[in-house]
Amino acid sequence: MTNKPHIAIDAMGGDEGVRVMMAGVAEARRRHDGLRFTLFGDETRIKAALDNHPNLNAASEIAHCDGVVDANEKPATALRKANSTSMGLAIQAVKKGEAGAAVSAGNTGALMAMSKLALRTMPGIDRPALAALLPTLGDNDVVMLDLGANTECDARNLVQFAVMGAAYARVAMDLSSPRVRLLNIGTEDLKGTGEIKDAASILRESADLQMSFDGFTEGDKLARGDVDVIVSDGFSGNVALKTAEGTARFVTDLLRRAFTSSIRSKIGFLISKPAMHLLKHHLDPNQHNGAVFLGLNGVVVKSHGGANAKGVANAVHVAARLLEEDITQRITHDLAQIHALAKAETAAK
């Protein structure tokens, strides 16, 4: 376990610029006073931002580079200049062992492409998956993956995602045996694609894993809070995520419109203001910021491009927790259990 994680920061990524990135990293440093950072980007702009954060300045070194990955840049184009951009060099620091994790709020496609090429997948993992924490009505958030890294997946991929998601849930939510379900069009065993049904069969037989596999869940139950990890292919997962985000915005906008429609409605808003603040806090994406590329030989965390300082701090917090709890070792251990079961079944046949 790493006592003082070193994290590489892409200081140039994100819609809000260097100032907000540095404010967020400084806030994370106040939560974890042992963290150290290498800040990649324009040295002049980073130093100017650090003047407001002496606690971060004392725990950081700056690695100047001129290149920046544009928000709309194609991954193939970004890859060609990986060795000269703040995003690419932050990932290279993880590859070289100079940092344990990289955090970026930049282009998601470019970040995934660079991370996969530089770090490669862990032994036993075919494809990395993008995982994130989503709010629920229960006591815990829910880990959902894959959220867009792999549009098509076979049963083997889904099983690996389940293993990685359960390991992440044990770290992020301090659960001993996370409840895992596969996203499906119904909860009955006969429903779903062959890949989903095959993955469910494998997971049911893997009794030694540190998870509780509970079969299937449907899209309308994502936020119910009765499951800790939801597994799907990247296409379905991304559609489900965007639908949930759109629904949350629809509800909040509808409430805002309703509360401003008349004098009586405005009075009703004043009475219900504490409850509205609680709703806003619960649905605030900054509260759950920090998606993780699981399955790589290194930790890479994606912060939302529009995240504020609190959101950036949460993304850095996620990276620190994954390093402190050695997420890679947890995944490796569980994969060994799956492989042992597969070998035993092959021998039996």
Domains of the chain: 1-121+295-325 (3.40.718.10), 126-289 (3.40.718.10)
DSSP state of 138: S
Q: Which of 27 and 289 is assigned the larger pLDDT?
A: 27
Beta carbons within 8 Å of 63's beta carbon, 6+ residues apart: 38, 39, 40, 89, 93
**Angle of the 327-348 helix axis to the 194-205 helix axis, nearest 10:** 90
**Residue 2's pLDDT is what?**
42
Provide mean pLDDT across the span 320-341: 81
Q: Is the per-residue pLDDT at 347 higher than 70?
A: no
**CB-hemisphere CA count at 13 Å for 207?**
1
**CB-hemisphere CA count at 13 Å for 37?**
34
**348/182 Cα distance (integer angstroms):** 28
**Residue 3's pLDDT is what?**
46
Whether 305 contacts 13, CB under 8 Å: yes
pLDDT in tens, 13-26: 877 789 999 999 99
Q: Is the per-residue pLDDT at 251 higher than 80?
A: no
Provide mean pLDDT across the span 63-67: 92
Q: Could you give the C-alpha distances from 67 to 83, 191, 229, 305, in angstroms and in order?
A: 9, 49, 37, 18
**Residue 1's pLDDT is what?**
40
Q: Which of 173-177, 251-255, 277-281, 303-307 shows the highest mean pLDDT?
A: 173-177
Q: Is the per-residue pLDDT at 172 higher than 60?
A: yes
Provide mean pLDDT across the span 168-187: 90
Phi, psi of 180 (to 5 degrees): -115, 135
Q: How confident is the model at residue 343 (pLDDT cuts 50, 70, 90)?
A: low
Q: Across the strands, what pairs with 181?
A: 230
Q: Is the per-residue pLDDT at 271 higher than 70?
A: no
Q: Could you give the C-alpha distances from 92 to 36, 120, 140, 324, in angstroms and in order?
A: 17, 12, 34, 20
Q: Name the one residue in this structure whose structure tokens are 């990986």.
A: 82
SS3 39: strand
Give the DSSP H or E segment for 292: strand 291-294
Q: How confident is the model at residue 339 (pLDDT cuts 50, 70, 90)?
A: low
Provide mean pLDDT across the span 269-280: 57
**Residue 333's pLDDT is what?**
79
Q: How confident is the model at residue 262 (pLDDT cuts 50, 70, 90)?
A: confident
Whether 151 contacts 116, CB under 8 Å: no
User: Burial level of 319, CB count in 10 A (0-12/13-18/19+)?
Assistant: buried
Provide mean pLDDT across the span 54-59: 88
DSSP string, 306-329: T--HHHHHHHHHHHHHHHHTTHHH
Q: How confident is the model at residue 272 (pLDDT cuts 50, 70, 90)?
A: low
Provide mean pLDDT across the span 20-44: 91
Provide mean pLDDT across the span 65-73: 88
Provide mean pLDDT across the span 150-161: 92
Beta carbons within 8 Å of 155's beta carbon, 6+ residues apart: 194, 195, 196, 198, 199, 202
**Residue 180's pLDDT is what?**
95
Q: Is the per-residue pLDDT at 275 higher than 60?
A: no
Mean pLDDT estimate for the chain: 85
pTM of the shown model:
0.83
Pairing of strands 299-302, 291-294: antiparallel
Q: Which of 17 and 316 is assigned the larger pLDDT?
A: 316
Provide mean pLDDT across the span 303-330: 87
Q: Is the per-residue pLDDT at 277 higher than 60?
A: no
pLDDT in tens, 204-213: 887 677 889 9
Q: Name the one residue in this structure whose structure tokens are 């889904």.
A: 158
What totals of helices (H) and strands (E) does the chain contain, helices first?
Answer: 12, 11
pLDDT in tens, 94-152: 999 999 999 998 888 899 999 999 999 988 889 999 998 888 888 888 999 988 888 88
Tokens encoding 81 = 């200049």
Q: Is the per-residue pLDDT at 243 higher than 60?
A: yes
**97/102 Cα distance (integer angstroms):** 11
- For the chain, the farthest-separated pair of C-alpha atoms sits apart, in whole angstroms, at 75
